[in-house]
Structure 1
């Protein structure tokens, strides 16, 4: 991938995706948290605390090279996205809860993503002092993640009819852009990918399955309603792989670090689909609820 695509194309692509997310959000999506505080708190604890610890355990177990290990931790720190909302809709989850969790996680990720990434670099790559997300780069993360979302929300407030008409085209564009971003990351790092494809494919599939299961069974353990547990499962199990790729390549400046996100971005669609059908068999009431 050329430098222009990396430095300009990737942030623009992610900006369109996050703008599309903003078009689907309203202030009510943040206020809705008060109606389901237990479901939201449990999901956030899983997302922000348990999941990074789980990912760290997998990285150590699979003995990934340091740069790929940091890439996995960056992926674990990335919030859910609109794809999680789509899967939740397909398998009768509480989509309103999904949207609220996506909104909250996108805000929190501005702080937690640099923190987790820097800790991972300190742990796995202590000699690489030039890498990491310093203050200036953290501001860049804020601009990449939140500003397009805020613009999308303003457009929805200012021109709700336009926002409704643009929802489907932006979603389609987001999927196309995601495919281009992932393909570019894979092509640019083909040799390294071939060398590690076995380990990356296995660990990303295991990570995705563990994330989905964590997001479903932990809320159910605390008696969260089935539809909300389904929403939590997809929100925690489906990460914004594009964000992880963009942060790795443009903010940190490591093409290799983006590989776990690229491999995950391809495989998670199939893993999440299979998980959705399994949930329907395990929890018929969740599948049957309107």
Structure 2
């Protein structure tokens, strides 16, 4: 990838996206675990434990090349993206719970993302060429959590401004992700077709599995349907921009970023179809009213 894009564009893009996330958060959102303890614990267990195991089984079953396999595990370890809240609102989820999950999961990922990624690197024998060092982890999450805290501060001081900026920042986030995906595919144009053939099925299956796990496991655990919908989109709509940033800027490997890029292309239509399936076939009529905005 072009050096200017990777050294300036990627951090700036991630910063804008995480600032936008911060504009939607308050300190009270982190207390959501006390109001919905079962829903939060089950959703986080799905994110931290179930998804990496499912993703590992998927990449082994499909016999992905090591770099792409690590990229898939990096994607699985990434927390929910900013679009998850929007999907939850559109498809009758508990948006307040969704925002709380996003807030808590983004903090937990400080520990879980490097742990899962380094385990994947070790398993696929990439130790000599790719490492995720502690110093780099700190740098990543300064870039991630710093803008989130700044956004929260702006919301605390200028609530009306934060509300006005919600839609523009969401649109900007989608555009930024699209530009990153295009840049990766252009930089890897000689291998793009082969990569898509190798990882297209894997990312599609992983997206479907993530959405399904996020809904059915919480339902089996006894949480409400709206809470399960929020969990589904939080777990199924990953922060592909973060995965791309870590792959390119921290691990210095564009091929590792390819699963995140392909996922960034396919997750939006798949999540929309899943939302239709939820509202048309899986949610009871009594839960067919509009979700409460946070």
TM-score, with structure 2 as normaliser:
0.95
Output one character per residue of 1:73-95: Cα deviation in whole Å (capped at 9) or x when no partner.
00000000211111111100001
Query: Residue 184 of structure 2 contacts residue 261 of structure 2 at CA under 8 Å; is this kept in 1?
Result: yes
Query: Residue 67 of structure 1 contacts residue 125 of structure 1 at CA under 8 Å; is this kept in 2?
Result: no
Aligned length: 289
CA–CA distance in structure 1, aligned partners of residues 89 and 193 of structure 2: 35
CA–CA distance in structure 1, aligned partners of residues 236 and 191 of structure 2: 26
Q: For residue 139 of structure 1, report the CA deviation from its aligned partner.
A: 0.8
Match of 1:288 in 2: 289
Output one character per residue of 1:157-206: Cα deviation in whole Å (capped at 9) or x when no partner.
12222222222222221111111111111111122221131231111110
Q: For residue 130 of structure 1, report the CA deviation from its aligned partner.
A: 4.5
CA–CA distance in structure 2, aligned partners of residues 288 and 108 of structure 1: 32
Q: Secondary structure at the match of 2:288?
A: helix
CA–CA distance in structure 2, aligned partners of residues 287 and 196 of structure 1: 40
Match of 1:18 in 2: 18
Match of 2:208 in 1: 209
Query: Residue 220 of structure 1 contacts residue 229 of structure 1 at CA under 8 Å; is this kept in 2?
Result: yes
Q: Secondary structure at the match of 1:81?
A: coil
The runs of 5 or more residues in structure 1 that have no matched partner are none
Match of 2:108 in 1: 108
Q: Secondary structure at the match of 1:155?
A: helix
Question: Is 1:146 paired with 2:168?
Answer: no
Taking the TM superposition and a 5 Å limit, the aligned residue runs for 1:129-144 are 129-144=128-143
Query: Residue 47 of structure 1 contacts residue 236 of structure 1 at CA under 8 Å; is this kept in 2?
Result: yes
CA–CA distance in structure 2, aligned partners of residues 191 and 45 of structure 1: 39
Match of 2:45 in 1: 45
Match of 2:5 in 1: 5
CA–CA distance in structure 1, aligned partners of residues 190 and 215 of structure 2: 37
Match of 1:117 in 2: 117
CA–CA distance in structure 1, aligned partners of residues 239 and 171 of structure 2: 16
Match of 1:262 in 2: 261
Q: Secondary structure at the match of 2:131?
A: coil
Taking the TM superposition and a 5 Å limit, the aligned residue runs for 1:77-96 are 77-96=77-96
Query: Residue 93 of structure 1 contacts residue 286 of structure 1 at CA under 8 Å; is this kept in 2?
Result: no
Query: Residue 83 of structure 2 contacts residue 170 of structure 2 at CA under 8 Å; is this kept in 1?
Result: no
Match of 1:224 in 2: 223
CA–CA distance in structure 1, aligned partners of residues 166 and 282 of structure 2: 33
CA–CA distance in structure 1, aligned partners of residues 13 and 99 of structure 2: 21
Match of 2:272 in 1: 273
Q: 4+ residue runs of structure 1 moved beyond 6 angstroms?
A: none
Match of 2:160 in 1: 161
Output one character per residue of 1:190-229: Cα deviation in whole Å (capped at 9) or x when no partner.
2222113123111111001111110100111011100000
The runs of 5 or more residues in structure 2 that have no matched partner are none
Match of 2:192 in 1: 193
Q: What is the root-mean-square deviation in Å for CA atoms of aligned residues?
A: 1.2
Query: Residue 110 of structure 1 contacts residue 145 of structure 1 at CA under 8 Å; is this kept in 2?
Result: no
